[in-house]
Structure 1
Amino acid sequence: MDGEVSTERIKCFRRIFSNEDERIRANDEFANFSLKSGPFADPDSIGSMYVTDPRKWWACFGSNAPLLQRNSSQYYDEKTKLWDVGGDQFGSMEDVGVLEFANLSLDEPELESVLFDENATTRMEKENEKDSEVEEML
């Protein structure tokens, strides 16, 4: 397992499971899951891990790790409720200024190289104008 992932998981478990006994049980559940041992050693559980949607897998086999399941009341009601800080809702796009026009995709590298100035004239258009001027001079 990646060292950074392991370190962050440990930090997360410390935040979620402030009670040491509960944290030890959660670590035990995670170890069983990760090592495919204990209740997760079942051939159906292991085989399904690779072909089943994770949510469906947890619905079928996750009862063996109740502390790790996200449908616990602690997940919804306590301090983990806002784990993503911004929530799952998008706010208003008003007052974003230039940012609302900067929605370029990394899958479109040719668009990334295009910069817009205040008059909506692109750098490429300016370069084309320069090329035309040079051609006219020749």
Structure 2
Amino acid sequence: MATSEKGPLFIKSIDGTKEYKDKHFIADLFLKVIGEIGHQHVVQIITDNASVMKAAGSIVEAEYSHIFWSPCVVHSLNLALRNICAPKNSMQNEVAYNECNWIAQVADEVLYYQWIEEVRGRVAPHKNAKISGERNKCLKRFFHDLDDRKNVVVEFGLFSGMISYDDDNMNDRWTFDPILWWSNYGSKLPMLQTVALKLLGQPCSSSCAERNWSTYGFIYSMRRNRTTPKRAEDLVFVHSNLRFLSRKREEYTKGNFKKWDIGGDTWDEPFGGSGLLEIAHLTLDEPMMEISLGENDD
């Protein structure tokens, strides 16, 4: 699965039957796909937090210094909060529950951006030494040529100091979508604009890839188990990409077929609506937790 600012695209699936899925096998698969797409078009790869995936990501980073491996944010939060947000206290969960169960209690009442703005002592990212150090490391991996790196650092300084833009341009940062803002105003800083558009088009989770497991499970199941791997791959390819293309049509946002791939035959409550849309976008890696979310939502 590949994604960009224009949306996701299902590329292909791999039959891993009888294969020993170690870091070298997985890394080879990543490198082959990167070669097909072109390494200059790849910014990062996202997987779950399994140790074998992290090791495979390190191999890819060693091969291409400008490509980053990133753990799935949804999977990371799921692992971190699975006990904190447990619906019931238990012997195994007692300490974490007593200290952190307030998160579950106020989760629906606190907006994240308001919480961040109210943190005492918070400084702007370009004034934070740790953030600035990590940013410079990323720029060093992106730009190997010293002159290019120097130019992009200068451009970032002009941007963070609001030197290249007037007040109206900078005020639009709070009302425009980031990609739209950089597309409209970023031409004054061309190298930084290129980096910004690449990064802003990247997802932070592997949820779109995980949804294909449900599609594959629908096509190949206990009742439909004579389908060859190649046929199943072709059917998943067609079904997934048709679904992605349909989301770009006007009929997807209104009418009888509104959100057809999320709400089923109807988008009216309780079978559709914003509640089901939240669950659909928060694809977790724990099937039992998904069942619990669905039951609680009812």
Give the TM-score, by structure 2 length: 0.27
Q: How does 1:103-122 map to 2 (within 5 A)?
A: 103=290
1:54 aligned onto 2:241: no
Deviation at 1:99, TM superposition (A): 3.1
- Provide Cα deviations, 1:50-102, integer angstroms capped at 9, x if missing partner: 33222221111100111112479xx5xxxx9xx879878414548xxx93223
Partner of 1:100: 287
Higher relative contact order (Cα pairs below 8 Å, separated by 6+ residues): 2
1:21 aligned onto 2:147: yes
The alignment partner of 1:5 has SS state of helix
- 1:4 and 1:14 mapped to 2: Cα distance? 16
- 1:54 and 1:84 mapped to 2: Cα distance? 14
Question: Identity of counterpart residues, as a percentage?
Answer: 27
- Report the count of equivalent residues: 95
Q: Which runs of 5+ in 1 are unaligned?
A: 112-138
Partner of 1:30: 156
Q: Which runs of 5+ in 2 are unaligned?
A: 1-126, 215-284
Partner of 1:10: 136
Partner of 1:69: 193
Q: 1:19 to 1:87 in 2, by over 3 A?
A: farther
Deviation at 1:24, TM superposition (A): 0.5
- 1:66 and 1:104 mapped to 2: Cα distance? 47
Q: 1:35 to 1:104 in 2, by over 3 A?
A: farther
Partner of 2:262: none
Query: Residue 29 of structure 1 contacts residue 68 of structure 1 at CA under 8 Å; is this kept in 2?
Result: yes
Query: Residue 45 of structure 1 contacts residue 61 of structure 1 at CA under 8 Å; is this kept in 2?
Result: yes
- Provide Cα deviations, 1:8-34, integer angstroms capped at 9, x if missing partner: 110110000110100000001101000
Query: Residue 26 of structure 1 contacts residue 67 of structure 1 at CA under 8 Å; is this kept in 2?
Result: yes
Kindly report the root-mean-square deviation, in angstroms, between the aligned alpha carbons of the 2 structures. 3.6
The alignment partner of 2:191 has SS state of coil
Q: 1:84 to 1:21 in 2, by over 3 A?
A: farther
